[in-house]
Every structure is written in structure tokens, then in C-alpha cells.
Chains A and B, each alone.
Chain A
């Protein structure tokens, strides 16, 4: 059975006097223990809102949630606030995008790490301190004993992200959600942090949901990839399958737009035309139609459903007129 099973998740932001914003529109995916699942998409496609909804961290007011999130068989949406709070940090943890602002600037790092240990593992005093040092050491922070007394601004960005990862893994959660954990870091540090995440996830058997817009991260880390567009999953497949045979025009566009080292200089990049604001409502059409190269008249008249790909096994697709597999083998390779 899947560890995390998100079914038809819907998040609608309502505000008096404004049109409702459907940020997440029927997203379903599941994560098995020890598996790494990627949620990929551009800014505003609902990746982060999905993760906050799973964590139960969306504000109560002005937000309507629909669908269900099963964790280990229990629907998280049915849990009381207190039960949910007990689970956060202990069973499900999260690493955020910006390590510069995700640590409290006026509290020493050590105190912030021990706070989690005190909260969930009941550790106190010296025991908590030595465990905190041990955690920092595990994420590759040198001189962990000394670092415990440091304030966040005394650490580099990479060190801070390491500290945040240490905090989120303090209670050996079964599921870790990483929301663009490397976006705010230098490229050299990005690789280190990804390597660290990979290592820790493998070591502890933690399931990982990797939220990113970086296809390189996906290629290096994820077992299964869900591509999101405008609040819905448009394509879902294993990593090899998705990179080898992308079928949705959006996925194809994403892959084509990645700059390549083997291209000669001066060759223009291949962006997807238009912007994410050029969308049609999913209820009546395919949201990607205005930007799609394969668009047909029915794309603007009815909404495609997420269905098994008739041509490829274990590949789900939301498209009337997908890219032909043969053409794309060459792009993906």
C-alpha cells in the first residue's frame, strides 16, 4: 500500500469580491515507502500549494480544500489540528525553498534543532544537545558542537539548508516533502544538497516528494515524475519513461527548453511560447491549449481526462493529441 495517497486534491482560494482561484484542481498521486516522487511544473502551477495542503499548513480562512490525503491509511483531512500537529515533524516533514529566511534569525541553530527533539522525542538538556550535534554532523556540518551556538546569519546558505534538513529529519519521518530545496542556492551547493538528500533518503528509507521546476533535479533524483500544469497533473510516468518518451506537449516543451552543453554557442533556447497566465479553464478545455503546438479544435472545446497512455505502458497522460513516441525518443536522449 502506498505511504501517501493524494486523491483528487482540490484547493480553492476564495476572497470576497474576487473570483475564486483554483490553485490545485483534482491532483492525484501516490508515494510508496522509500520512493522519490517528483512534482514538476512552472511557477504558479500549484506545486507548493499541493505540498502545503498535504502538510495541513494552508490557512483556514479563505481556503477550500477538497479530495483526500491518505497517509499510512488515514485521511489527514479528517485529523484534528492537534493530531496533525503531532504528525508534522514526526511522521511528515518538510524542507522549504529559502534557507535564508526559514531559520529564526534571533535563535541559535542548536536551540532550533533541539526544539524539534524536545517536541517529538521528549529529549531534554544534554541528551538533546548531543543528539542535535549528531544530526548536524550527519548532514555534513563540520564542528557541529560549535555550530550549535551559532546564529543563522553566521552560517552560509548551504549550511543553513543542511541545518534545516537536519531539523526535518530529526525524528526520522517516513515522508519528507522538499519544496524546491535547492532553488535559492549556488549551483555548486545545489549538487551537494541533492546528493545529501539522496543519501539520507536512501539510508533511512524515507519517502521523498520532490517539488521542483528543475528537470535536472528530477533526472538525478526521482523514481516517478508527475508533471503539473495549471493545477492539474498532465503527465505521470517513471523517470526513464518520461525523459525517454515524453508524450504531453508541455513535457516535450519543458525538455526542449533546457539549455544543452552539446549545442553550439549562439543557438537560441527553445522556450514554450506564451506565459502561464494564458490558460483556459480546465472545466471547459485543455488549459495548455493556448500555448500548445499540437493544439486541435477539440482541445478548446472539451477537457481531456488523465488516462493511461494507449501506446505506452505505465504512462498516464492528459492530452487529446499527444506527441508521437518516435519523434520524441530523439529529443529525450
Chain B
């Protein structure tokens, strides 16, 4: 604590450092001083690095049998295999490291799709208002009324049990959340003094929406995006657990690893615990960063 305080005072005293700056710059400064945010950020960096560098980090191939395992005796952690072997004699650590890739991929792709769709709908509703707003919001209400899991099962049934189905399902579930959030923000900012002032200067409606209202409305969406990455990772694991994800046994996936090792819970509970911890770790990183981001960007949280 004293160290970080010293750093803070050094930082504020540093000559030439500009006081003030844009709102995002201020938020960034608050974020850097928040230990929770740093923790979350470090966790995310570790997660992403593991995902990207899995082939370099993994001591063994995640798909090849490297030891003997029988349903009654699954070798536990040892000097060669830090997390032991799984029920098929594959190196558990390598499988978990490779599993990060699937989680990150599903998280990022479904977040991107969901956010793009939601933001588009939100801008449409927020910019036009009136009957367009009504129409878009009713569509969003309908989307919200379908349970996510049910929808995912439907998508998997329609498109087949593939990773793509999981991504689409998670994306579609998130579309209404982003749309509502952005629409509410935009409606609030559309009635603001600066929007009126811009109107009084003859600024075109498209410029008011895209240059004034949208930039002011977007920060909650960024926060929501970070938090959505966490839920997307959990949802992906959940859908994989239910057997809706990718079916290729050569591709390790945390959710499926959990499901496949259920039978050995009494013999080797670590086979469920380690992938579970991995899921928690990845999701927690995004949640911590997202929550601190919310605090940093929202003036109401400022201390």
C-alpha cells in the first residue's frame, strides 16, 4: 500500500504531466490506481498470453496419450505431469492451457457479434425515436423473452453441434442487452443541452447522433462489453458441458472437460476442479476489470 501511495504521489508530482485531460484519460488514471483493476488486468493478460502461446507453454500435446490411465487409477500430479493425467492418459496441464484458446475465441467472437448487433439496434432506436424506437424495442423484448439456454439448444439443433452454434447463440442472447443499454443512454443524451446547442448551430442530425450523442453514450457499453466477455466464457463452458459445443475430441474445451470427467469425480476430482478453476480465473479477470472500469467511468462512483 505504501509503495503504491508513493507511486501515486510521484506520479502527480511528476513535472510536465498534464492535469486534467479527456474524460477517458482521467478514467484511465483512476483505473491505474485501482488494485482491483490491476489484478483483473493481469489475470486477463495471463489468460490471453496462455491462449496465444499455448503451443509453446504446453509441455505435451493436448491430444496424445502420454501415460497409462485406467478408470480406477488415474495418475495424479507428479514432477512430469504437474496436474496429472486425465482419464485417457493425456497431460491435464497441456489440455487446460490449450482450452484457453477455445474460451477466448468463443468469448471474443460472440462478444463482437453481440455488441455489433446490439449497438446497431440501439443506435437505430436511440437516433430515430418514434415508431422506429418502438419497433426495435419490441423486437428486443421478444429476444429477451426467450431463455438463453433454450435458444442455444435451438441454434445447435438448427446449425448442428458446432462451436459456431455456441458463438451465435451467445451473441444473440447479448444483442438485446447492448441494444437496450445504448438506446437508454442515447435517449438521455439526445435531450441534453449540448445536443440542443448543436442543433441551434444547424448541425445535421447524423452529426449530432454520431459525433455528439454516441460518444457520450458509449462508455457503459464498453463496461458491459468487458462484463459480457466473462459471462460469454461461462456460457460457452455451460453449453459445452451440455454437449452443445464443438464435438472434436482433439480440441480441448474447459466445459467439455468438466462434463467428460464427471464419472471420475470420486476417483480424481481434480479433473473437474482444474478446468473449473480455469473458467473461474478467466471470467473473474474480466469481471474485476469491468467493474473497476464502471467505477472509473461513472461519475457517480467517483470518490
Provide the residues of chain A in CB contact with B207, threshold 8 Å: 115, 119
Provide the residues of chain B in CB contact with A108, threshold 8 Å: 22
- State whether B215 touches A89 (Cβ < 8 A): no
A212 to B6, CA, bound (A): 52
A120 and B198 in contact (CB under 8 A), knowing A101-B192, A151-B22?
Answer: no
A107 to B22, CA, bound (A): 8
A102 to B199, CA, bound (A): 11
- State whether A94 touches B200 (Cβ < 8 A): yes
Q: How far is the CB of B58 from chain A (nearest CB, A)?
A: 44
Kindly state whether residue A124 has any CB partner on chain B within 8 Å: no
- State whether A107 touches B197 (Cβ < 8 A): no
Provide the residues of chain A in CB contact with B211, threshold 8 Å: 107, 115
Q: Mark B189-227, 1 if CB is under 8 A from A, else 0.
A: 000111011111111100100011001100000000000
Which of A101, A153, A168 is close to B23, meaning CB atoms less than 8 Å apart? A153
- State whether A154 touches B204 (Cβ < 8 A): no
Which of A88, A106, A153, A154 is close to B200, meaning CB atoms less than 8 Å apart? A88
A284 to B70, CA, bound (A): 99
Q: Mark A104-146, 1 if CB is under 8 A from B, else 0.
A: 1111100000011001100000000000000000000000000
Q: Mark A65-87, 1 if CB is under 8 A from B, else 0.
A: 00000000000000000000111
Provide the residues of chain B in CB contact with A101, threshold 8 Å: 192-194
- State whether B197 touches A88 (Cβ < 8 A): no
A17 to B22, CA, bound (A): 45
Provide the residues of chain B in CB contact with A115, threshold 8 Å: 198, 201, 203, 207, 211
- State whether B200 touches A57 (Cβ < 8 A): yes
Kindly state whether residue A248 has any CB partner on chain B within 8 Å: no
- State whether A96 touches B193 (Cβ < 8 A): yes
- State whether A104 touches B200 (Cβ < 8 A): no
A119 and B192 in contact (CB under 8 A), knowing A103-B197, A104-B198, A107-B212?
Answer: no
- State whether A96 touches B200 (Cβ < 8 A): yes
Could you tell me which residues of chain B, from 1 to 40, have a CB within 8 Å of some CB in chain A?
A: 20-24
Interface of B is mostly: helix
Q: How far is the CB of B25 from chain A (nearest CB, A)?
A: 9
Closest B residue to A61 by CB, please name it.
B130
Q: How far is the CB of B28 from chain A (nearest CB, A)?
A: 14
Q: How far is the CB of B250 from chain A (nearest CB, A)?
A: 48
A167 to B202, CA, bound (A): 11
A108 to B212, CA, bound (A): 11
Provide the residues of chain B in CB contact with A55, threshold 8 Å: 200
Q: How far is the CB of A216 from chain B (nearest CB, A)?
A: 25
- State whether A151 touches B201 (Cβ < 8 A): no
Kindly state whether residue A90 has any CB partner on chain B within 8 Å: yes
Provide the residues of chain B in CB contact with A93, threshold 8 Å: 200-201
Q: How far is the CB of B128 from chain A (nearest CB, A)?
A: 13
Which of B23, B201, B215, B216 is close to A116, meaning CB atoms less than 8 Å apart? B201
The listed residue with most A CB atoms (<10 A of its CB), out of B203, B211, B212, is B203
A271 to B193, CA, bound (A): 32
- State whether A89 touches B201 (Cβ < 8 A): yes
Provide the residues of chain A in CB contact with B24, threshold 8 Å: 106
- State whether A85 touches B202 (Cβ < 8 A): yes
A89 and B22 in contact (CB under 8 A), knowing A102-B193, A103-B194, A107-B211?
Answer: no
Provide the residues of chain A in CB contact with B201, threshold 8 Å: 88-89, 93, 115-116, 119, 167-168, 170
Closest B residue to A100 by CB, please name it.
B193
Q: How far is the CB of B271 from chain A (nearest CB, A)?
A: 49
Could you tell me which residues of chain B, from 58 to 77, have a CB within 8 Å of some CB in chain A?
A: none
- State whether A98 touches B22 (Cβ < 8 A): no
- State whether A107 touches B203 (Cβ < 8 A): no
- State whether B203 touches A106 (Cβ < 8 A): no
- State whether B196 touches A96 (Cβ < 8 A): yes
Provide the residues of chain A in CB contact with B203, threshold 8 Å: 89, 115-116, 119
Kindly state whether residue A164 has any CB partner on chain B within 8 Å: yes
A308 to B196, CA, bound (A): 37
Which of B200, B202, B204, B215 is close to A107, meaning CB atoms less than 8 Å apart? B215
A107 to B192, CA, bound (A): 15
Q: How far is the CB of A232 from chain B (nearest CB, A)?
A: 25
The listed residue with most A CB atoms (<10 A of its CB), out of B20, B196, B200, B203, is B200
Provide the residues of chain A in CB contact with B216, threshold 8 Å: 104-106
Provide 6 A-B residue pairs closer than 8 Å at the C-beta atoms, listed in order of the A residue.
A57-B200, A89-B200, A96-B197, A104-B198, A104-B212, A120-B202
**Partner-A contacts on B (CB < 8 A):** 20-24, 192-194, 196-204, 207, 211-212, 215-216
Known: A88-B199, A89-B203, A105-B216. 6 other contacts (CB 8 A): A102-B194, A105-B23, A107-B211, A108-B22, A116-B203, A153-B20
